[in-house]
Amino acid sequence: MILRKISVFTLVAALLAAGSMATTAATARSAVTLETVTDGLSYPWSVAFLPDGGYLVTERDGLLKFVSGEGHQSVVPGTPEVFAQGQGGLLDIVLSPDFKTDGTIFLSFSQGSTEGAGTSLFRARLVSQEGGYRLEDGRTIFTGNNKAYGGRHFGSRLAFAPDGHLFMTIGERGDGARAQDPSDHAGSVLRLTPNGEPASGNPSLERDGYRPEIWSIGHRNPQAAAVHPQTGELWTVEHGARGGDEVNIPEAGRNYGWPVISYGRHYSGEKIGEGTEKEGMEQPIHFWDPSIAPSGMTFVTGDAYPHWQGNLLVGALRGQHLARLELDGATVVSQEKLLVDLGERIRDVRQGPDGFIYVLTDSGDGRLIRLKP
Amino acid sequence: MILRKISVFTLVAALLAAGSMATTAATARSAVTLETVTDGLSYPWSVAFLPDGGYLVTERDGLLKFVSGEGHQSVVPGTPEVFAQGQGGLLDIVLSPDFKTDGTIFLSFSQGSTEGAGTSLFRARLVSQEGGYRLEDGRTIFTGNNKAYGGRHFGSRLAFAPDGHLFMTIGERGDGARAQDPSDHAGSVLRLTPNGEPASGNPSLERDGYRPEIWSIGHRNPQAAAVHPQTGELWTVEHGARGGDEVNIPEAGRNYGWPVISYGRHYSGEKIGEGTEKEGMEQPIHFWDPSIAPSGMTFVTGDAYPHWQGNLLVGALRGQHLARLELDGATVVSQEKLLVDLGERIRDVRQGPDGFIYVLTDSGDGRLIRLKP
């Protein structure tokens, strides 16, 4: 009993001190200090920043956590039941562009059914309560068609465009042909209203066979999406097989080629599809071969990181680093691997309203880490 | 519809061909060919080999899978409900030493309750049914005391000693003091009868305050255990913090030092405990600093791998390789990193009854891979 009491005291002391614990990582262009905001997260997937401070973090096995500025965690009840198998579960979170007035959040998640699982979109209002928050008026506002068994390739990231439409990415569920089928939501980028309806101006108006929610097709498993801060265009990053991860700038009605063209090979070493280029299919602006397994992306804005201004940061799971891409317009001109010494899979990277970059490590003892310049 | 039909055909063809797809990995002492037995596993944790062929694989989120020799998967119903959060879930599987006559299997798992979660042991009989197997007469035969919240450090591996007793490792649930408390099952190696009762000859008979199931204390999070093929001794490998992973040969009533002594530092960079040595506490026979995050181990016997004879293989999660340790008795004389190019976290490594080494990759699209010399 005495040992147990000491231990609880030690843990509390450690939690209180966590904000001040930090290690420094050198990079080619500057040194950043890593501050652990909180740890002990269960496979955290995505982080959103609350205007009054604190963070909302999704955990893949199904919990939404509120993390206070001091790093204390509490569960946010009211989330949808998720299909937590393989790569499926509770996935992305974004706040409404009008969050300060409507208090609305959006969650993407894997939804199970007797016919299999698919990717869905959930909307709710975040309401404060003693010690944290809860969700109210939660509703699943979009459900991908053609559910399938297995735990592979659900996507999914969410990103609001400047015009208020919501982009949502969906993986092809491990079935490449679904990415080439414009009547199938899987393997696509969708463009929705905040009610989960098809956005006006989507390609289905001009093209037969397109589901009205679909923006672009031919995507394998896009697990990163962000809107470019200057152009307002959607950028996405998707997983290849053993190689062929891609950065794309998806345009309406375009086909991004999976599994017909790819810069990678299957895990077996077997060639993929027809090659790397084909008429009527788009080229990525950048690819990785072998795969780094990219997840999460953000553009660096503001002046907190003068040497990274305008760069694109992409998390690497298998690659266990944070990829920093220097851009000239839509061209990647150089690349640096950050956080290599951390030796952790990076699931998400975001820039907070404080101008700092935050990453989530993909682990059963996952951390939210702030990168201080 | 045509596209969907083609796709199903392609998938079937890929599955049928899986056994013949292979890549070759060169090592310092020999080349091995990697054959994917099956993929699409959800965070597979442990593999056992059935005498009639095929494999039993635990998936951390709760399913037990039968994998046929051809790589086809089917769910084995009858498993216990698991606490699948963080590092918790369905963990190790071993067959009874008398499996051919008693058909009995043992599973370690994280068990939830209203007071938190802990590590438990489940026993059942494997019964064949159409297309696979089911469990019958399943019963939880041991439950660790002092359940706790959070998803960290459950262990757990199982290994039968030559005398028929069952060793079971349990992590300290993220609370170092529990590893030093001999009245607490967490942070210990246990030695049990096949009924989950304390084994005769355990240290509690001579030491006050020891729980009767406990064999040794002072362990952080042991996720690898194997009995040495010549000496019959238990060997374990446990996770350190940022450094300080250890290989130990746990002896009755001994204290392996966590968190008082360790060769690592906390993730924060802070020093751990009192240093690296202390009277009354045992030294590891090997340690890694920085951490490779070891999980799963096996000794290489037989003549399939002449250059690896008698070596110890240890999976590395964070390290993304298979560590090959050459031994001289209980001394590690050299080390090689295998499967570095695979770029996958290795959760388990086992030698099958066919003499070949098998590994499980820790991923939402996890694979069982055979290493062919």
Express each pLDDT in A286-301 by its tens digit. 999 999 999 999 999 9
Predicted pLDDT at A18:
35
Is A318 at the interface with chain B, CB within 8 A? yes
Chain B: give the shortest CA distance to residue A152, in Å.
6
Enclosing H/E stretch for B305: none
Q: How far is CA B4 from the centre of its chain?
A: 39
Tokens 């950050």 belong to which residue?
Answer: A338
* Maximal C-alpha separation, chain B: 73
The 10 Å Cβ neighbour count of residue B66 is: 20
Residue A337 lies in a domain: yes
Instruction: For A327-367, write each residue's pLDDT tens digit.
Output: 999 999 999 999 999 999 999 999 999 999 999 999 999 99
Say how many domains are in chain A. 1
Interface of A with B in 92-151 (CB under 8 A): 150-151
When the pLDDT of each residue in chain B is averaged and rounded to a whole number, the result is 91
What ipTM does this complex have?
0.74
Amino acid identity, position A252: A
Nearest Cβ partner for A7 among B41, B177, B318:
B177
Give catalytic status of residue B321 as yes or no.
no
Pairing of strands A90-95, A366-372: unpaired
Average pLDDT over every residue of B245-264: 96
Residue A128 lies in a domain: yes
Chain B: give the shortest CA distance to residue A7, in Å.
5
Residue B133 lies in a domain: yes
Is B362 at the interface with chain A, CB within 8 A? no
Q: What percent of chain B has pLDDT over 70?
A: 92
Test mutation, A9, A10, A39, A42, chain B, max B CBs within 10 A? A42
Is A72 at the interface with chain B, CB within 8 A? no
Residues facing B287 on adjacent strands: B246
With beta carbons under 8 A apart, name residues in chain A contacting B291: 343
Residue A8 lies in a domain: no
> By C-alpha distance, which of B188, B187, B199 is closest to B161?
B199
Residue A145 lies in a domain: yes
Residue A14 lies in a domain: no
Nearest Cβ partner for A87 among B23, B174, B364:
B364
The parent domain of residue A240 ranges over 23-372
The CATH number for B256's domain is 2.120.10.30
Residue A15 lies in a domain: no
Predicted pLDDT at A204:
87
Chain A: give the shortest CA distance to residue B15, in Å.
11
Tokens 């993304």 belong to which residue?
Answer: B320
Instruction: For B269-287, write each residue's pLDDT tens digit.
Output: 788 899 999 999 999 999 9
Residue B13 lies in a domain: no
The 10 Å Cβ neighbour count of residue A135 is: 19
